A and B are shown apart, each in its own frame.
Chain A
Amino acid sequence: MTREVVRELERALGRERVISTPEELIAFEYDGTIERGKPQAVVFPETTEQVAAAVRVAHRFDVAVIPRGAGTGLSGGSVAAVGGVVVALTRMKRVLEIDAVNRIAVVQPGVVNLELSHAVASYGLYYAPDPSSQRACTIGGNVAENAGGPHCLAMGTTTNHVLGCEIVLADGEVVEIGGRTRDVPGYDLVGAVVGSEGTLAIVTKVIVRLSRVAESTRTLLAIFDSVDDASNAVSAIIGAGIVPSALEMMDRNIILAVEPVLHCGYPLDAEAVLLIEVDGLDESTAEQADAIDAICRRNAAREVRVAADAAGRELLWAGRKTSISALGRLYPNYYVLDGVVPRTRLPEVLRETYAISERYGFAVANVFHAGDGNLHPNLLFDEREPGVTARVLDAGAEIMRACVAAGGTITGEHGVGLEKRDFMSWIFSPDDLRAMAGLKEAFGAGENYNPCKAFPTHKGCGEVSQARVQRAAAAGAEMWV
């Protein structure tokens, strides 16, 4: 059967666009998580028609189809959980059109996020969503996961920046949804596809909104002697009617990991720092920076620094951007979580996160989008310790429960994927899930489109759940949030 599928794929796409030997497939068994899954074949289409052809072959043989971008996902979204055909979209990496006047671009799914911003920079434009993996991750993957990033506080996430898509349905049909403006009549199918984790459709073309680079940017670093004070400052800034473009928090363990290497000026004896950025007219950023400075000091900031120039801003951001990989200096392994709470609940949920980690005997390092209430606790551990993986997953689940109990949710930007399928029932009733299943049915997605992701409906999914608990953790060398 496998052989026949591979032969048909080769016939449809050409041999040079299909790989199927075990050695070749190894690189496609995992993404940015601890999940693993062995596909039977990986195809590398270069056109929409080739994507559709591959999908039709899989459809005919009733095997799973797993779309994949750069493989930087953090919830197992591109892992072939029950085998099947991985459709790698990395060769579809052309920017098809830049319409600078109307501030849109039409791109293929394999275009790398940051490269899109580079491609439009000469027009004074950029693509706003900036997941920390933006040097590697693709627009197609961003659409699948509704990717966020530090600058989504003021600008919104991927869903706010995608106007239209060309998609391939599970039977190989090619359909256009949305358009070049927001005013296309009908149900907002683009809104449904963004964040659907590749379970509704494979996106083969994306029409994105571009944003104008602001004339002025100011970056502040506020230093605190307690996490509580830092959290309260976050609420106070938002409560004062200031929505910074970014509002990030890093706690002591992150500072300890980052500072000795990068020397960004995060004090080693601080309990937390806030990295705050405002952009806009020079007059606005000056006003806002002053107000933020005052609010932080009122909330017991020990010190507030303002980056003097672009180099100073970059240095402050360097610590934030490399913080997770720097954790590797402290511990052999880390498990990054992704939960969201209403901003005002940050102090208590952070306290609980520390308490839960301590109870399980793990150190925890927090670096996260505080302005959005989007937490990223990193549990630090050593996989060589017997039984540790199961405990890490348990501690992670407990932290997620704390987020939900505070009125929050189980993922803000990494997706449900394989990782959090079993948590869906914490926030959604069977009726809620049935409505989502109705949407899937409307797209004709069936059981084979990225099975076992988000919804554990495929017959093979139960075994996957078992296996992942037993698997040894080996978090990758490079991980971004």
Chain B
Amino acid sequence: MTTETAGAIGEFVAAVGLAADSDASLCARYAVDRVEPRVVVAPGSVEDLRAVMREAHARGLAVIPFGAGRHMTLGNVPTRYDVALSLARIDRIVEHEPADLTVTVEAGCRLGALQAALASHGQFLPLDPPAAGDDATVGGVLAANAQGALRHRFGTARDWLIGTDVVQGDGTLVHAGGRVVKNVAGYDMTKLYAGSLGTLGVIARATFKVAPLPAAETTLAVSCRSAHAAGIVLLSAHDAGLALHCGELLSPAAAALVLGDERWTALVRVSGGARAVERSVREIRDFADGLQETASEREPAPAWAAWGAAFAPAGLSMRASVAPSAVPDAVDALDEALAPAGAVISATLSAGLVRIALPEASDIAARDAYERAEEIARGYGGTLLVDAAPARLKAAIDVFGPARGDFPIMRRLKQQLDPGGSLAPGRFVGRL
């Protein structure tokens, strides 16, 4: 740390008062890709958050917003990192009007707490980032654009987000969207913040549409002899318009880990009205019979919790994006190349999204696995994003892949909305 920075940190701590802590072991807990902040600050309200940002801005300090830290593995290695900004104390559910099917929540609110509150009114926010628990914050999930198996039916965070309050680098509070479900007043800035990894502003509050919880639910695992057979089961169910919330294609290693059955598997979550669920289950069983494969019912909660734990970002976690029709082939190729190195794979077929996890990968193995996965994804006309990687690999790559033709617009956008370049510097696409 230069003397200059040390001085600035001292002034910053003095200015923001009790909310700041530069204890070394605390700072170590907020390390991002082994880069440690100089100080951790946890404001207790959106107003305090603005004050913290103003003080940091005045001293040119680099700030990284921090929720529960569940998705901090995503992003490039930060080029600067002075202040860890914890949103953990800004965690209220601001407003939930059940009959409006909308909820406004502060960024630090735990997803689990939000889901529990919504569930008491028979509703849920259909975002289920793969995780070992449910303590991720809403702001973190949004900033990382994290999503799980519900992707099949419900899309991504941007499809549910209808309003944001964002604190900019200099402490300015900007509001976008609203709490109505249809809104075309002005540019839809909310979309920009979903998945922006804190590089355009600190999400302080967000308003979402929510969905009614299904009346009935069953989880079925169809064990298959090949990725293709599992793919056919999923595609048939999708094309028949069956009541599916999730439809995942699991590699044998993934199925062994999640279900204790080492075979290619179509894992589906059938949800909806009781009669629709009954018929959907019957038809999926028929598809399985027709292919001479076996369908078995599973306890939904443990199966999907195990799935979430298996694909929580850790070690080397990657997401390939290919055309849905290419999924069985791509998954097959990825499994053949990476299963020996310990990869577990699960694909949301309808979205063309393939998750590849090697939680125990060493630096060298990770490098090799990444390169092979990237080559295979590219071979199927797709792209690869790295959700988590060992430090050495991360330092060597852009985790978002090569920049595209629209990168100059993104760079100018970053310059416009974060002219000081102090928000999570270096973390985003093209190291913005």
Query: A183 near B175 (CB under 8 angstroms)?
Result: no
User: Among A160, A184, A214, A424, which residue has its beta carbon within 8 angstroms of that of B241?
Assistant: A214
B378 near A: Cβ within 8 Å? Answer: no
B234 near A: Cβ within 8 Å? Answer: no
Instruction: State how many angstroms separate the Cβ of A298 from the closest Cβ of chain B.
Output: 14
Query: B211 near A243 (CB under 8 angstroms)?
Result: yes
User: Beta-carbon contacts of A411-437 to B below 8 Å, as 1s and 0s?
Assistant: 111111000100010011101111110
Given A183-B319, A284-B276, CB of A191 within 8 Å of CB of B188: yes
Q: How distant is the Cα of A145 from the Cα of B185 in the complex, in angstroms?
A: 10
Q: How distant is the Cα of A156 from the Cα of B353 in the complex, in angstroms?
A: 22
Among A183, A200, A369, find the residue whose CB has the most chain B CB atoms closer than 10 A: A183
Q: Within residues 300 to 347 of chain A, which ones have a CB less than 8 A from any CB in chain B?
A: 340-344
User: Beta-carbon contacts of A367-378 to B below 8 Å, as 1s and 0s?
Assistant: 001001110000
Q: Please, which residue of chain A has its CB at the minimum distance from the CB of B402?
A: A185
Query: A439 near B189 (CB under 8 angstroms)?
Result: yes
Interface-facing stretch out of A1-9, A252-260, A440-448, A464-472: A440-448
Instruction: State how many angstroms separate the Cβ of B107 from the closest Cβ of chain A.
Output: 18
Among B173, B181, B182, find the residue whose CB has the most chain A CB atoms closer than 10 A: B182
User: Among B168, B175, B182, B409, which residue has its beta carbon within 8 angstroms of that of A175?
Assistant: B409
Interface-facing stretch out of A64-72, A108-116, A233-241, A263-271: A233-241
A242 near B: Cβ within 8 Å? Answer: yes
Query: A160 near B155 (CB under 8 angstroms)?
Result: yes
Given A186-B400, A188-B191, CB of A145 within 8 Å of CB of B178: no
A410 near B: Cβ within 8 Å? Answer: yes
Query: B413 near A187 (CB under 8 angstroms)?
Result: yes
Query: B239 near A238 (CB under 8 angstroms)?
Result: no
Interface-facing stretch out of B77-85, B97-105, B299-307: B97-105
Q: Within residues 164 to 214 of chain B, which ones have a CB less than 8 A from any CB in chain A?
A: 168, 172-176, 178-192, 194-196, 200, 211-213
Q: Within residues 374 to 432 of chain B, which ones have a CB less than 8 A from any CB in chain A?
A: 382-383, 385, 400-401, 404-407, 409-410, 412-413, 415-417, 428-429
Q: How distant is the Cα of A416 from the Cα of B185 in the complex, in angstroms?
A: 6
Query: A185 near B383 (CB under 8 angstroms)?
Result: yes
Interface-facing stretch out of B247-255, B258-266, B321-329, B332-340: B321-329
B10 near A: Cβ within 8 Å? Answer: no
Q: Please, which residue of chain B has its CB at the minimum distance from the CB of A177?
A: B406
Tell me which residues across on chain B come within 8 A of A235, comparing CB atoms.
99
Query: A182 near B351 (CB under 8 angstroms)?
Result: yes
Query: B429 near A185 (CB under 8 angstroms)?
Result: yes
Tell me which residues across on chain B come within 8 A of A160, comparing CB atoms.
155, 159
A283 near B: Cβ within 8 Å? Answer: yes
Instruction: State how many angstroms separate the Cβ of A418 from the closest Cβ of chain B.
Output: 14
User: Among B99, B215, B325, which residue has its beta carbon within 8 angstroms of that of A101?
Assistant: B325
Query: A175 near B406 (CB under 8 angstroms)?
Result: yes
Query: A187 near B324 (CB under 8 angstroms)?
Result: no
Tell me which residues across on chain A come within 8 A of B181, comparing CB atoms.
340, 343, 372-373
Query: B412 near A444 (CB under 8 angstroms)?
Result: yes
Q: Within residues 107 to 164 of chain B, which ones have a CB less than 8 A from any CB in chain A?
A: 122-123, 155-156, 158-159
Among B279, B405, B409, B416, find the residue whose CB has the most chain A CB atoms closer than 10 A: B409
A477 near B: Cβ within 8 Å? Answer: no
Tell me which residues across on chain B come within 8 A of A435, comparing CB atoms.
168, 174, 176, 189, 417
Number of interface residues of B (CB under 8 A): 80
Query: B275 near A241 (CB under 8 angstroms)?
Result: no
Q: Please, which residue of chain A has its CB at the minimum distance from the CB of B430?
A: A186
Q: How distant is the Cα of A340 from the Cα of B163 in the complex, in angstroms?
A: 14
Given A102-B323, A192-B187, A344-B97, CB of A412 within 8 Å of CB of B182: yes
Query: B325 near A186 (CB under 8 angstroms)?
Result: no
Instruction: State how many angstroms separate the Cβ of A189 from the closest Cβ of chain B.
Output: 6
Query: B273 near A243 (CB under 8 angstroms)?
Result: no
Instruction: State how many angstroms separate the Cβ of A208 from the closest Cβ of chain B.
Output: 14
Q: Within residues 445 to 463 of chain A, which ones have a CB less than 8 A from any CB in chain B?
A: 454-455
Q: Please, which residue of chain A has its CB at the minimum distance from the CB of B278?
A: A283
Query: B429 near A186 (CB under 8 angstroms)?
Result: yes
Tell me which residues across on chain B come within 8 A of A214, comparing CB atoms.
241
Among B187, B278, B352, B404, find the residue whose CB has the most chain A CB atoms closer than 10 A: B187
User: Beta-carbon contacts of A131-175 to B below 8 Å, as 1s and 0s?
Assistant: 000000000000001101000100011011000000000000001
Instruction: State how many angstroms separate the Cβ of A46 from the closest Cβ of chain B.
Output: 23
Q: Please, which residue of chain B has its CB at the minimum distance from the CB of A148?
A: B182
Query: B323 near A181 (CB under 8 angstroms)?
Result: yes
Given A411-B184, A444-B412, CB of A185 within 8 Å of CB of B401: yes
Query: B352 near A181 (CB under 8 angstroms)?
Result: yes
B280 near A: Cβ within 8 Å? Answer: yes
Query: A287 near B186 (CB under 8 angstroms)?
Result: no
Query: B192 near A195 (CB under 8 angstroms)?
Result: no
Q: How distant is the Cα of A424 from the Cα of B383 in the complex, in angstroms?
A: 39
Q: How distant is the Cα of A196 from the Cα of B241 in the complex, in angstroms?
A: 33
Query: B159 near A194 (CB under 8 angstroms)?
Result: no
Query: A192 near B405 (CB under 8 angstroms)?
Result: no
Query: A239 near B243 (CB under 8 angstroms)?
Result: no
Query: A281 near B242 (CB under 8 angstroms)?
Result: yes
Q: How distant is the Cα of A281 from the Cα of B277 in the complex, in angstroms?
A: 10
Q: How distant is the Cα of A424 from the Cα of B385 in the complex, in angstroms?
A: 38
Tell me which residues across on chain A come within 8 A of B215, comparing CB atoms.
241
A48 near B: Cβ within 8 Å? Answer: no
Q: Within residues 39 to 57 of chain B, which ones have a CB less than 8 A from any CB in chain A?
A: none
Instruction: State how many angstroms separate the Cβ of A31 from the closest Cβ of chain B.
Output: 16
Among B98, B123, B180, B242, find the residue whose CB has the most chain A CB atoms closer than 10 A: B180
Instruction: State how many angstroms separate the Cβ of B205 from the closest Cβ of chain A.
Output: 14
User: Among B99, B168, B180, B188, which residue has its beta carbon within 8 angstroms of that of A195?
Assistant: B188
Query: A189 near B173 (CB under 8 angstroms)?
Result: no
Tell me which residues across on chain A come within 8 A of B415, comparing CB atoms.
442
A393 near B: Cβ within 8 Å? Answer: no
Question: What are 9 A-to-B residue pairs whose CB atoms are below 8 Å?
Answer: A160-B155, A191-B158, A241-B123, A281-B243, A408-B180, A428-B186, A432-B186, A442-B409, A442-B415
Closest CB pairs A-B (n = 9): A191-B191, A241-B212, A438-B416, A183-B321, A239-B99, A283-B275, A412-B182, A442-B413, A185-B400
Please list the residues of chain B having a beta carbon within 8 angstroms of any beta carbon in chain A.
97-102, 122-123, 155-156, 158-159, 168, 172-176, 178-192, 194-196, 200, 211-213, 215, 239, 241-243, 272-276, 278-280, 319, 321-325, 351-353, 382-383, 385, 400-401, 404-407, 409-410, 412-413, 415-417, 428-429
